[in-house]
Amino acid sequence: MEYLILKALHVMAIIAWMAGLFYLPRLFVYHVESGEANETFKVMERRLLNMITTPAMIASWVLGLGVAAMIGFPALLEQGWAWTKLVLVLALTAYHFLLAYYVKLFARDQNVRSGRYYRVINEVPTLLMIGIVLMTILQPF
């Protein structure tokens, strides 16, 4: 596959993944503040995670590794920015799995977190994204 096409698909996958990571905690806030075991929110959370966010995460990883392979892994492994980006992407992936855990808790009516908590953690992907973009574009070290 041509490098620029692969890179474009990677960016599209990232956009879809980030959209899901931004919206899931917002759904959690609405769910908590509805004050009940709302089946509509459970369906929305599950579908967003399983039909958009997780496939987009997988596509982001696969396409990103494809882009890295086309650039050349040995060259990338010598760059400090690439290692920093990898750590940030791993943290974003861990955050994704944390949200998946929360989806399961809501599905079982076992959530113990407040709307404020979900508002606060909703900032995590933004901070990680800033670091990832800065590393990718500026390649500072």
Are 87 and 138 in contact by the 8 Å Cβ rule? The answer is no
Taking Cα atoms as reference points, which of 81, 26, 21, 102 lies closest to residue 57?
A: 21
Q: What is the pLDDT of residue 40?
A: 94
pTM score = 0.94
18-46 CB burial, b ≥16 within 10 A, e <16: bebbebbbebbbbbbeeeeeeeebbebbe
Q: What is the pLDDT of residue 120?
A: 98
Are 91 and 51 in contact by the 8 Å Cβ rule? The answer is no
pLDDT less than 70: residues of the chain = none
pLDDT tens column, 10-51: 999 999 999 999 999 999 999 999 987 789 999 999 999 999
Q: What is the pLDDT of residue 130?
A: 98
Q: What is the pLDDT of residue 38?
A: 85
